[in-house]
Amino acid sequence: MALSSTEKQDLAGILEIVFGHDTAIHSRVNRFNGRTMAAAEDALETMVRCNDNMRRLVTGLLGGASVLVKGWLREIVSRLRKELESGRIQFDGYACKVFTVNNWRTPIVLTLQ
């Protein structure tokens, strides 16, 4: 599935907040695709499970849904980027972020080949 330019930019913004600036990802924003969105969704689901603030944010943006259904990220990508960029959310501990980056960076980069 093709992503719009806006979706690609929003997803790039989210990934930069979660992963930090990563040249392997950010130099290929024009290659973002449905597989990239799905891999990012899986990475964010990991963060939702280990980070209470992230769980509350995503649940709130999805209208209170506590079960994440495939495709949820595409539905809220712009709003999630804005919320994360606002700085209102603080990640609960470094371990959750490190775990997410270590497990999901490579799968995301592989979608850009």
Number of domains in the chain: 1
The total number of residues shown for the chain amounts to 113
Q: How remote is the C-alpha of 30 from its chain's centroid?
A: 17
Are the CB atoms for 61 and 39 separated by under 8 Å? no
What is the tens place of the pLDDT at every residue in 41-85?
999 998 888 888 888 888 888 887 766 888 899 999 999 999 889
Residue 32: per-residue pLDDT:
98
- Give the integer Cα–Cα distance in Å for 82 and 70: 21
Q: Domain range spanning residue 55? A: 5-110
Burial of residue 59, with CB atoms counted within 10 A of its CB: 0-12 exposed, 13-18 middle, 19 or more buried: middle
Instruction: Assess whether pLDDT exceeds 90 at residue 30.
Output: yes
Inform me whether the pLDDT recorded for 38 exceeds 90.
Answer: yes
Residue found under tokens 């930019």: 9
For residue 61, the model assigns a pLDDT of 87
* Kind plus residue range of the DSSP H or E element containing 72: helix 72-85
